[in-house]
A and B are shown apart, each in its own frame.
Chain A
Amino acid sequence: MKDEGEDSSQRWELLQPAGRTCSAWDAGDIGCGELVLALRTRLLALPPGGVIRVRATDPAAPEDLPAWCRLTGNSLVSADHPTYLIRRKGE
């Protein structure tokens, strides 16, 4: 399983415009409903347009996190398992 790479870290830095709250969360190996429910709570703590960097090693994450974004209308900025950048909807 690939670790978070330099490229995704650099990209995340570029996604942090001044004054916009960003967040990072290591979800470890949790998955399924537990993962998306905890992700929802964390994303709602950000203002609209805020970006969260999630590290999720669950083998279903490559399918689930994009699906969850499509369902909820939040934006999947990038997906490079196990690292995902998700922007909260509303902006």
Chain B
Amino acid sequence: MPGKFCVSLTCARDNTDKATVAFVVANAAAASDQETVVFLSTEGVRLAIRGYADDITEEGFAPLKDLMASFASVGGKIYVCSPCFKRRKLDDTALVPGAVIVGGAKLVEFMSSGCPGVSY
């Protein structure tokens, strides 16, 4: 039965293993007909910038940019923590496909009706 699924990711280049696995799991959820959100917060928000993940490849996995592109292509959404994004002075005009800058209310709305999730 279709449902929701949230993957919380707080890492980017500081832990490319976690960043990669998070999108592998997100793709599994999206491919299983779950309405899936990857919530990027703290350092994870850097992944929302076009080009940032282009050279990240973990052995045994597809390149992160391909995982992220696949996720977006099947309708996966990436919620980008607004205060985390702003304090890092990142460019909100250079977001990857599927990414949208949100605050807490948007995430709470998505999860409030009941939403399993996993954190990295």
Contacts from A to B (Cβ < 8 Å): 29, 31-33, 35-36, 58-61, 63-65, 67-68, 70-71
Contact = CB atoms under 8 A, between A and B. Distances in A.
Contacts, number: 55
A71 B82 contact: no
Contacts of A70: 109
Contacts of B25: none
A37 B85 CA distance: 20
Contacts of B86: 29, 31, 58-59
A63 B39 CA distance: 14
B19 to A, nearest CB: 22
Contact of B83 (A32, A63, A65): A32
